Structure 1
Amino acid sequence: MSSALPASNPDILAHVEQFWEGRKPRSPIYQFLLGDVSFIHASKGLVRARLLLTNNHVNAHGGIHGSVSATIVDWVGGMAVAAWDNRVKTGVSTDIHISYQSTAKDGEWVEIEGKANKVGRSLAFTTATIWKVVDDKPGPVIATGSHTKFLSV
């Protein structure tokens, strides 16, 4: 289950939403898979969002595709870095690790959390969690990930 969140900061939330709206049209894969994602929380280095899964998100067995989870971990790591200090350059991926634990299906909601654990001059280290939403709250963990970003680009 999720831990208590710090209060959402309206200025950081506005920055992350604006950053996302500017980035989304320049990334066809993000636009295709995450075009309908909605932010529900932002504070320093922490973002939460929700996404309704569609047929575009699932594999042949009907569960969220592993590549979709990987894309989400990649995306939310950048969003967490943007939330760290309202930056507009979030770097490039150097490493992504994902552990798959459960699933969600077409028509189900997922909640996504990205946390920037450390943001330095050249590297940022983030973690991500994807939950299935149950009774409008984060339920079973679908996947967790860690993501390292090279910032000096």
Structure 2
Amino acid sequence: MAATTKAVSAIRNYLKNCSGFESILKNIKIISAGNGTCLAEYKVEQNATNVLGSLHGGFTATLVDATSTYALYCDQDEITPSVSLDMHMTYMKAANLGDEILIDAKTMRAGKNLAYLRVEVKNKQTGDLLAQALHTRFLLSEKSY
């Protein structure tokens, strides 16, 4: 439980103080994190919608990228910098302005060089699956950067 609390606190602190592109994630609420998982919640805001008024696919991909990365970091004793190698998204249903969604990320396997993660995005009220993703990250060694 202490590791989970520490992970959630670290992620919340990071989101609160992040700058640049990731500042769009400031309104994500981390529900739980630890042991290679991260569960987050987001209420769809106007600035995250597309021309049709539903959650923008690019914003969904950013949520997936971020929460899966947090899940990976919660699976490591010491955070290893990493970069996305591949991310496959399947969009199944729209989320609309004001909808609350859950982003559930799990580390499937983390090896020496690669990590494999799975993410499900669901409507919090209905439980409908909105999107699912597979995310592969390349773990950087000191020689890589």
TM-score of Structure 1 vs Structure 2, range by shorter chain: 0.7 to 0.9
TM-score, structure 1 length as denominator? 0.83
The equivalent of 2:61 in structure 1 is 70
**Conserved? CA contact 2:7–2:34, under 8 Å:** no
Corresponding residue for residue 30 of structure 1: 22
Supply the distance in 1 between the matched residues of 2:54 and 2:15 (Cα, whole angstroms). Answer: 27
Indicate if the aligned counterparts of 1:45 and 1:80 stay in contact, CA closer than 8 A. Answer: yes
- Looking at structure 2, the residues matched to 20 and 108 of structure 1 have their Cα atoms a distance apart, in angstroms, of 22
- RMSD value, Cα: 1.8
3-state SS in 1 of match to 2:112: coil
Change (3 A) 1:13 1:103: farther
Number of aligned residue pairs = 141
Q: Which residue of 97, 100, 105 corresponds with 2:91? A: 100
Distance between the aligned counterparts of 1:94 and 1:144, measured in 2?
17
Match of residue 84, structure 1, among 72, 75, 91: 75
Corresponding residue SS for 2:127: strand
| Greater Cα offset, 52-61 or 34-43 | 34-43
Say yes or no: does 1:111 pair with 2:99.
Answer: no
Match of 2:124 in 1: 133
Distance 1:143 1:99 in 2: 5
Identify the range of structure 1 (109-118 vs 40-49) with the bigger mean alpha-carbon deviation: 40-49
CA distance in 1 between counterparts of 2:16 and 2:112 reads: 25
Query: How much does 1:119 deviate?
Result: 0.7
DSSP-derived class of the 1:85 partner = coil
Deviation (angstroms), 1:19: 3.8
Select which of 3, 20, 45 maps to 1:11.
Answer: 3
Taking the aligned partners of 1:24 and 1:121, their CA distance within structure 2 comes to 30
TM-score, L = length of structure 2: 0.87
1:13 deviation in Å?
A: 3.5
What is the aligned-residue identity percentage? Answer: 26
Aligned pair in 2 of structure 1 residues 24, 119: CA closer, same or farther (>3 Å)? farther
Unaligned ranges ≥5, structure 1: 1-8
Match of 2:114 in 1: 123
How far off its partner does 1:29 sit? 2.1
